[in-house]
Amino acid sequence: MNSTAAKAVTACCAMLAALPLAVLAAPPGVRAAAAAPPARPAGAALGVRLGDPTLAVVRATLDGRERKRLLADQLPLALASHAAPPARVASEPAESVDPATGLPYAWQLAAVRAPQALRLVAGGPPVAVIDTGVDTSHPDLRGSVRSRVDLLGQRSVADFDGHGTFIAGLIAARANNGIGTLGVGGNTPLIVVRASTGESFTQLALADGVLAAIRRGARVINLSVQANTLDFLLRDALERAVALDVLVVAAAGNTGSSGNLPQEPAVSLGGPRGAVGAGLSVAATLPSGAAARFSTRNDSVSLAAPGAMGDCRRGVFSTIPRATDTSFDHDAPKLCGPLIFAPGPFGAGRYAYGQGTSFAAPIVSAVAALVFAAQPRLHADQVARILMRTARQANGQRGWNPATGHGVVDAQAAVELARRFDVTPPPARAQIARISPTTWRVRVLPSRDPVRRGQLREGGVRYAIVVEERGRRRLLARPTSRPPVRSVRLPSTSKGLRLFVVACDRVLNCASRSFPLVR
């Protein structure tokens, strides 16, 4: 598709039940319509971010039952089950050269070094695609869909538009089947959430889709949508994803050549000037690694991935539905309409070229899944750090810029770093002394970030103290590099408290130790 490929999102016009994040450990509830704040303009940061030390500290104090209550369902399956030894990655027809360009049809694979990464890990944990559905009968997508959710009440995820099927192929087109193309994520399973059948989505549907994806065990959520504002329902859903350690990846937007207006939710997810934010904002690049002209540029762009070519009829290569009445078919006769490949050269399914940041984002989502599989103990903020640390700028450039962020994602380098990344927290230690019947003195003891063979050490230990009373937690000492000393007094109305001492390293590997304080 052309540079309008990222779908417009319309403001929701109804109010239904949502899951608030007013308190991290609060059970699901209903937000009253009367309390609804207005939609906020693009660029208003979420109230929580992946790299927030306070969030990491509180999360470290949660036990398994509390995590399950937060999800209101089952926790994701063990990630280790997705890290099976990779099989040999055979070349697919789409890796042959397009004579019109001199590049492989699926040039995006080599551009992000996906085949090399897939020799190290076969696939990742589930990626949720919240979009227009997926043609699950496509020969290159058979067996790639683990879970299906239809938010339209039709008990189907059939894709009448083509946008969702194209995204699904970029992530999870099957390897070693001798047809079509290969998804960057290899054998990564998909959670398909159909939130629309056409050109627009309500933000209410997207919010419901985010929550549904979390409940079904998504570790990565792909949002290839764009809007000028962010409704509070979708904002709440995204904040819940961050709190539950799910990585949200969004298309940066396609306004670069038409005013460059910042687009949601990407501008609220990406951190400022390359820092870790609430998720990742992804720009689109040409085969050279330079940003596509239409790709939105701003201080929230995290990194980039292939999403365009110099020829506006070409772009990245992926699957489209076998039905011939999709948006790809409607756009094909236009001057910059996508090239479509009928069944035959690449197998029984249909394929096409497409342009847009909509199609750059799923490439990053797929690589994120591979990183999770390479080291199952990683948190979402650590995966984001790894992707940004290993991204490559074009022409030997270094550092961050508003067009491509940290550069084009590098799957091989990211997987290799994930295997060596520091995932071991420093020990949490403290001395507790009772100085009166209702008062205790807490002295946090210093600790060192441990060294593990073959693993990097980040260092930078910080300490915090959390107090829990009647199921609610509060910070007694915020994260600090100097071990804190505090006095804790038992309220007259309380029979006891629970005290947590937490130690975290620079990349937020956190350990906690609890102490009951009883009258």
Distance CA 497, CA 469 (A): 5
Q: Is 204 helix (H, G, I), strand (E, B) or coil?
A: helix
Distance CA 278, CA 320 (A): 31
206, amino acid identity? L
Instruction: Please classify residue 35 by burial: count the beta carbons closer than 10 Å to its beta carbon, then call 0-12 exposed, 13-18 middle and 19+ buried.
Output: exposed
For residues 328, 333, 339, 343, the Cα torsion angle rounded to the nearest 10 degrees is 70
Longest dimension (CA), the chain: 83
Give 442's strand partners: 432, 486
The order of strands in the sheet holding 340-341 is 316-320, 350-354, 340-341
The predicted structure's pLDDT at residue 29:
26
Asked whether 112 and 367 are in contact (CB, 8 A), the reply is yes
Q: What are phi and psi for residue 22, nearest 5 degrees?
A: -65, -40
Q: Is 280 helix (H, G, I), strand (E, B) or coil?
A: strand
The predicted structure's pLDDT at residue 47:
63
Residue 40: its H or E element: strand 40-41
In 340-471, at which residue ranges do the beta strands (DSSP E only) sit?
340-341, 350-354, 430-436, 439-444, 462-469
Please give the DSSP secondary-structure letter assigned to residue 390: H
Query: Which of these, 61, 21, 13, 7, lies nearest to 239 by C-alpha position?
Result: 21
> What is the 3-class SS of 68-85, one letter each residue?
HHHHCCCCCCCHHHHCCC
The predicted structure's pLDDT at residue 84:
42
Show the domains of the chain with their CATH numbers: 93-419 (3.40.50.200), 423-516 (2.60.40.10)
Distance CA 129, CA 173 (A): 14
| Token output for 90 | 């055979």
| Token output for 410 | 């590098």
| Token output for 13 | 């016009």
Asked whether 355 and 2 are in contact (CB, 8 A), the reply is yes
Break the chain down into helix, strand, coil percent, rounded to 5: 25, 25, 50
| Token output for 395 | 């022409």
Query: Which of these, 211, 172, 173, 175, lies nearest to 193 by C-alpha position?
Result: 211
Q: Is 149 helix (H, G, I), strand (E, B) or coil?
A: strand
Half-sphere exposure of residue 357: CA atoms within 13 angstroms, side-chain side: 38
Give 472's strand partners: 469
Kindly give, in sequence order, each residue whose CB lies less than 8 Å from that of residue 224, ignoring residues fewer than 6 positions away.
Answer: 5, 6, 7, 131, 163, 167, 250, 251, 356, 357, 358, 359, 361, 362
Kindly give, in sequence order, each residue whose CB lies less than 8 Å from that of residue 59, ignoring residues fewer than 6 positions away.
Answer: 24, 243, 245, 510
Asked whether 160 and 126 are in contact (CB, 8 A), the reply is no
Helices (H) and strands (E) in the chain, counts: 12, 24
The predicted structure's pLDDT at residue 45:
60
The predicted structure's pLDDT at residue 30:
24
Q: What are the C-alpha distances in Å from 245 to residues 1, 60, 214, 490? A: 32, 12, 10, 32
Return the residue matching tokens 């990564």: 188
Distance CA 127, CA 190 (A): 5
| Token output for 135 | 């043609």
Distance CA 333, CA 324 (A): 13
Taking the model in full, what pTM does it have?
Answer: 0.86
The predicted structure's pLDDT at residue 32:
25
Residue 305: its H or E element: strand 303-306
Residue spans of the chain under pLDDT 50: 1-40, 72-85, 87
The predicted structure's pLDDT at residue 90:
56
| Token output for 26 | 């609060």
The DSSP secondary structure of 209-267, one letter per residue, reads: HHHHHHHTT-SEEEE-EEBSEE-HHHHHHHHHHHHTT-EEEEE--S-TTTT----BTHH
Q: Looking at the annotation, which residues are catalytic?
A: 131, 163, 358
| Token output for 501 | 């001492």
Q: Is 439 helix (H, G, I), strand (E, B) or coil?
A: strand
For 46-92, how does the pLDDT look when each residue is reduced to its tens digit (9 = 90+)? 666 766 788 788 778 877 667 666 654 433 332 333 344 454 555 67
| Token output for 334 | 């236009």
Distance CA 285, CA 435 (A): 63
Asked whether 437 and 318 are in contact (CB, 8 A), the reply is no
